């Protein structure tokens, strides 16, 4: 889609969080009412006829648009969080990042077999956190699972898309 307004508002932060990384800062998209509206409306148009019953947002940037989209779709919102942040029983999945290991959790009663789930995050680079979230969601055996990112980095060597099964529909709003 590569909406020019979104591209214009996206901030690049060199050498964050470590030297050599060119961080794509979506906070500049979130602080603009116009950009936030564009993102939620474009995602709504993609998913409005898919029967989504739950949107899973990955901590923390996936919470912003994920929750707004869940509201607009009339779906529930589920938080995929770092360990120790959710108060009830959880399922966990660990994954490797570019610079270390991490784990995410979802409440063990968050999703049912009747749900159609959209997992949302801000950015696809290596795909580690989303693959962990996808694997967590699959433990619930939902009817269908979709994946969405605001940004997909298509830099050689990252290959984030290649980590997911071919039968999973994955969409992105911006490819860089």
Residue ranges per structural domain of the chain? 50-175
- Indicate which residues carry an active-site annotation: 61, 98
Q: For residue 55, what are the CA distances in angstroms to 5, 18, 66, 70, 140?
A: 25, 31, 6, 6, 14
Bridge partner residues of 172 (DSSP): 149
As to burial, measured by CB atoms within 10 angstroms (0-12 exposed, 13-18 middle, 19+ buried), residue 36 is middle
Per-residue pLDDT of the chain (176 residues; tens, 9 = 90+): 688 999 999 999 999 988 988 899 999 999 999 999 999 999 999 999 999 999 999 999 999 999 999 999 999 999 999 999 999 999 999 998 766 789 999 999 999 999 999 999 999 988 999 999 999 999 999 999 999 999 999 887 778 898 999 999 999 999 99
Predicted confidence at residue 156, as pLDDT, reads: 75
Q: Which CATH code for domain 50-175? A: 3.40.50.2020
Predicted confidence at residue 146, as pLDDT, reads: 98
Predicted confidence at residue 63, as pLDDT, reads: 98
Q: For residue 13, what are the CA distances in angstroms to 10, 97, 130, 158, 172?
A: 10, 19, 22, 18, 21
């Amino acid at each position: 889609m590569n909406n020019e307004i979104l591209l214009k508002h996206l901030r690049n932060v060199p050498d964050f969080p470590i030297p050599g990384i060119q961080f794509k800062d979506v906070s500049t998209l979130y602080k603009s009412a116009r950009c936030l509206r564009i993102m939620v409306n474009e995602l709504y148009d993609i998913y409005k006829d898919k029967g989504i019953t739950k949107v899973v947002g990955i901590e923390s940037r996936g919470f912003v648009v994920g929750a707004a989209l869940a509201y607009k779709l009339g779906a529930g919102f589920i938080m995929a969080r770092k360990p120790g942040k959710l108060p009830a029983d959880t399922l966990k999945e660990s994954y490797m990042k570019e610079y270390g290991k991490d784990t995410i959790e979802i409440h063990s009663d968050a999703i049912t077999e009747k749900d159609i789930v959209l997992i949302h995050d801000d950015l696809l680079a290596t795909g580690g956190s989303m693959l962990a979230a996808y694997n967590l969601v699959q433990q619930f055996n939902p009817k269908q699972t979709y994946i969405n990112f605001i940004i997909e980095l298509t830099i050689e060597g990252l290959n984030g898309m290649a980590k997911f099964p071919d039968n999973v529909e994955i969409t992105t709003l911006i490819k860089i």
